[in-house]
Structure 1
Amino acid sequence: MTTDAAYAPELAALNVAIDGAAQWLIRQCRFAGRFEYGYDARGVPMQRYNVARHAGALYALAQFGERPSTIAVDPTIDAASRYLATACIRTVPGQADCFALWGDPEGRPLEAKLGAAGLALAAWCGMDANQVWRPPVKVLSGIGAFIASLQDEHGHFISKYHASKGGMTQWESLYYPGEAALGLTRLYAVDENPDWLDAAERALLYLARKRRASGRCEPDHWALLATEALWPFAMERKALLEHAVMIVETMLAEGQSSGALSRCGRTTPTTTRLEGLLAVRSLLPPGHAVTRSLERMLPAAVAYSLRARVVGGLHEGAVQRAPERSVDAKATELRIDYAQHALSAWMAWRDGATHIEGAGAKRG
């Protein structure tokens, strides 16, 4: 882990933050595995359910479960995994081999989002099936087939699918393609079908071409996470690396003297960008200007995000929308995705963001 005398948090404090965020997410998992979404700035529960947020929380807890800990996280992972599968997985009309995660948790399929499918795959395919429950490989591959069905020959994804209307092209998500690419890459670990890697790489290369042509690059942390996961198998590393550098430069350009990695100052834009930056930093050229800037800014960003922790009280360990009200009037709002992204970022920082480099594995 990179250290800096002025900014680097003490390891003990970081461990407390990591354990606290995981424990808060565990406490939020109720109703036979369904997550309580969050609380507004007045402390009132938000009466909603979001399948993508559920999958994201499961993804972070699965990461936490991979690391040594005295906290019993497996029962929560097991319950949340079963709920997500039972309530949301349904076949796609007319495509018996495709499974989607539908947005209605009561089992009345209407709309399925690309991002929810990608995140669920990323979570499930990172789990040890001998310790916690996850859907059978046949179902996981069916989710991969659904994702692939939303992609055209150029690598572009449709973001939403409606049960009666099919693919919906009028709305595109910034993050769903990266989430899909990450999920497909992780799927390869349990189903060694090279089509998953091909689809993931085509998705990232499409984003690279689109952003290079437009001259506009968004702070797409999921694309960075997918790039890191795909790297050992990638065929077009040069193009992927150029794309990653573009995203990193975009993120660093919004860095603030406070340590925030966005001009808005909210917590989650900083923690999500931390996730992406930590994922790809070992892939970046040594001595490159972007690498030097990155190493200088990372400790400050981690310290900034830690200021948003809730210390004491009913929501001990939760993560606020912003570190203080001067940044955002809704600073004390709490949501599971705020904790999810902070937990993943803090674990990556603590781990030192290790990477596999060199020739890498070959596609089957």
Structure 2
Amino acid sequence: MTLGELLASAKPALAATWAECMEASAAGVLFMSVCHGKERAHVVTVRGKNFDEVWRRAAQLLQAWLRKQGGAPIWLRVDVVHTVHAMTWQALKQAFATTKRNYFRHGIAFDAELSVAMLEEEIGAHAVLYDGNFSETTPNAVNLGLYGKYRHGRELHWPTDAQQPVWIFDTRAVFTDGKGLHTIEHQGRNRGYRRLPTWDTDRVRDIAATSTAYLARQVKSSGAYHYGWFPCFDRAIPTYNALRHASSTYALLEGWELTRRPEHKAAIERALDHLTGKLIQRTTLPGGEEAAFLVDIDDEIKLGGNAVCLLAMVKYTELTGDTQYLPLLEQLALGIVHMQDPATGRFVHVLNHPDLSVKEENRIIYYDGEAAFGLMRLYGLTRDPRWLQTVEQAFEHFIAARHWEAHDHWLSYCVNELTLYRPEERYLRFGLDNVRGHLDFVLDRITTFPTLLELMMAAQKMIVRLQADAAHAHLLEGFDIEKFYRALEQRARYLLTGHFWPEIAMFFRNPSRIAGSSFIRHHSFRVRIDDVEHYLSGYVAYWKYLEGGGRPAELQAMREDAVPEK
């Protein structure tokens, strides 16, 4: 693809937008960003009144840069300034103080002509408003200096005078990869990302397949994963987590169930070989039984670690019919049983390896739900009553401890499985209470929080069965079904604001490494295998939901998004 071809694709859409923007602000400022995938996009800024002249000058600047660089561009994004607001540095800092970090969604300029200006995407990709020590938007002097050298050839500095003016601006933009032209949404919850003419089964499948492919590419030849990246500066996350290795492999299996691509299966098998050959250790329990434990860093045995190993290997067994892992599955399950108090049903969360002494009685509630869910999935495969009994004992503790108040997605998965075999009122009520009262949070949460979609998808399966169960349907009295489905569907769409579309990835240090992945915006756009895992699991479940018809027929007419986005 040549720059000329990319420009020809984008120009017609920007001509009308230019007139609209000139009417709104008369700024006449255009940002043109081009990327060949290996390094950050090169951005040029041109100001003027005549669109054709501004376009021509910007194109010339990019052509001159490309001649020096070599290589063909693959992505082009063009932003036109729509609105500009002047404010004092003090007022802007006050706005920062009430904005979650990396959620300041405007460009910033240091002069009225916007000759020294940062697009919103540049601000995020260079971490100039990010300090990991603070939860709110925080100016970063070091990163601003680095950005200034990269973009403007000189260090930039934040103002020191509280009354010094700065300019906040918003743009209208389009993006093209030569295959299609995408208008960038400029308002609402989905602003900053491509407008989608459809949000349907095929679209969700494409996102899930892309995420599967990304996660599969993270599996090295050794079977270990590239654990994750801080993409602003293309830094590898310098640690590892065996639990997340196993849980990400489970999500990869869910994705492969959808794609059935041989390279995805090959990655799964490498990851499982590493899991079973390097990370899981066998041991003899005090009672003489042979058990197995996932051993993590610092020689820790985490309850959740054994659980997600069960999930991955049960899923592999179901999808392939290969029974090689059945003996190991039993040993891992016995390891979980060893960590349960048979009198109360409560689990111990962390042991030391190899002596199995208790390191922490309680660490994180997720381990409880993971353990119960893993055992339920194994019970579904083997029908061994030991695993169902262990889960029912655990639920005695979960109910007594009011664990539903944590709104844990793993507990949602678990109770859905448990009620397949034990549709008892106390378990069904637990499953409803696990989402009841949490719907406003699901609707309004500003972060993507991908496990919320998993929570809702598992609960939806149980609710559908409950509606068809004459003996227990009364439990749904007072439960706002319409609001539940609205929250579920809105959360699924909102997750796309955490997808690394190329129009966002192009501004980061190594775009090709992260394009197609999923990020956590408030952690400096971090991409970690378990981040991708939760997006992927949620979208596979949502795809199945849409394939099954989506909302119940009686609620279809109540959908707010019945009309496709324009």
What interval of TM-score do these two structures reach, taking the shorter chain for normalisation?
Answer: 0.7 to 0.9
Letter of the 2:412 partner, please give it.
L
Deviates more, 1:93-102 or 1:12-21: 93-102
In structure 2, the residue matched to 1:209 is 400
- 1:232 equivalent in structure 2: 420
Deviations 1:155-200 (A, max 9, x none): 1100111123612344332111111111111112443320101111
- Give the letter aligned to residue 242 of structure 2: V
- Counterpart position of 1:319: 518
Aligned to 1:99: 292
Question: Structure 1 residue aligned with 2:452, among 253, 257, 270?
Answer: 270
Task: Indicate the larger mover: 151-160 or 287-296.
Answer: 287-296
Q: Is 1:13 equivalent to 2:203 in the alignment?
A: yes
Correspondence 1:147 to 2:340? no
Counterpart for residue 280 of structure 1: 462
* 2:246 corresponds to 1:59: no
1:193/1:68 CA distance change after superposition, 3 Å = same
Shift of 1:48: 1.3
- Indicate if the aligned counterparts of 2:279 and 2:294 stay in contact, CA closer than 8 A: yes
The answer to whether the aligner puts 1:46 opposite 2:237 as a matched pair is yes
**1:174 aligns to 2:365 (yes or no):** yes
Q: Which amino acid aligns with 1:319?
A: S
Partner of 1:358: none
User: For the structure 1 residues 283 and 251, does the alpha-carbon distance in structure 2 shift closer, same or farther, using more than 3 Å as the test?
Assistant: farther
The one of 441, 461, 485 equivalent to 1:254 is 441
Secondary structure in 2 matching 1:352: helix
Provide the aligned length of Structure 1 versus Structure 2: 330
TM-fit CA distance, 1:241: 1.1
> Offset of 1:62 from its aligned partner?
1.4
Report Cα offsets for 1:62-121 as digits up to 9, x if no partner.
1222335446321111111110111111123545511111114xxxx8221110100110
List gaps (5 residues or longer) in structure 2: 1-195, 467-472, 503-510, 549-566
Q: Which has the higher strand share?
A: 2
Give the alignment partner of residue 158 of structure 1, picking from 331, 348, 370. 348
User: TM-score normalized by structure 1?
Assistant: 0.82
Amino acid at match of 2:421: F
Find the partner of 1:298 among 488, 491, 503: 488
Determine if contact 1:38/1:335 at 8 Å carries over to the other structure.
Answer: yes
Q: The residue matched to 2:426 in structure 1 has which SS? A: helix
The one-letter amino acid of 2:219's match is C
The range that moved more, 283-292 or 121-130, is 283-292
Residues 50 and 103 in structure 1, CA contact (< 8 A), matched pair in contact too: yes
Structure-2 change in CA distance of 1:189 and 1:255 (3 Å): closer
Displacement of 1:41 in angstroms is 4.5
What residue number does 1:357 align with? none
- Going from structure 1 to structure 2, the CA distance change for 1:94 and 1:128 (only over 3 Å counts) comes to closer
> Secondary structure of 1:182's match?
helix
When the two chains are superposed, the root-mean-square deviation of aligned CA atoms in Å is: 2.7
Is the deviation greater in 129-138 or in 118-127? 129-138
Identical counterparts, % of pairs: 21
Code of the residue aligned with 2:517 in structure 1: it is A
Distance 1:232 1:276, change over 3 A: closer
Gaps spanning 5+ residues in structure 1: where? 1-5, 323-327, 355-364
- State the match for 2:431 in structure 1: 244
Once the two structures are superposed, what CA deviation does each residue of 1:288-308 show, in whole Å capped at 9, x if it has no partner? 423222112111111100121
What amino acid does structure 1 have at the position aligned with 2:316?
Answer: M
Structure 2: distance between partners of 1:194 and 1:200: 10
8 Å Cα contact 2:313-2:325 kept in structure 1: no
CA shift digits 1:188-238 (9 cap, x unpaired): 2443320101111222332122117xxx7112110110111222221x621
Contact between 2:228 and 2:528, CA under 8 Å: does it hold in 1? yes
Q: Is the 8 A contact 2:294 2:301 kept in 1?
A: yes
Shift of 1:135: 5.2
Task: Specify the structure having the higher radius of gyration (Cα).
Answer: 2
Question: Do the aligned partners of 2:348 and 2:361 also contact (CA within 8 Å) in 1?
Answer: no
8 Å Cα contact 1:204/1:227 also seen in 2: no
Instruction: Say whether 1:184 aligns with 2:375.
Output: yes
CA distance in 1, matches of 2:199, 2:477: 25
Paired with 1:8 and 1:162, the residues of 2 have a C-alpha distance of 51
Secondary structure class of the residue paired with 1:48: coil
For 1:18 and 1:155, the matched residues in 2 are separated by 37
Between 1 and 2, higher relative CO (CA 8 Å, sep ≥ 6) is seen in: 1
Q: 1:133 to 1:92 in 2, by over 3 A?
A: same
295, 298, 304: which one aligns with 1:115: 304
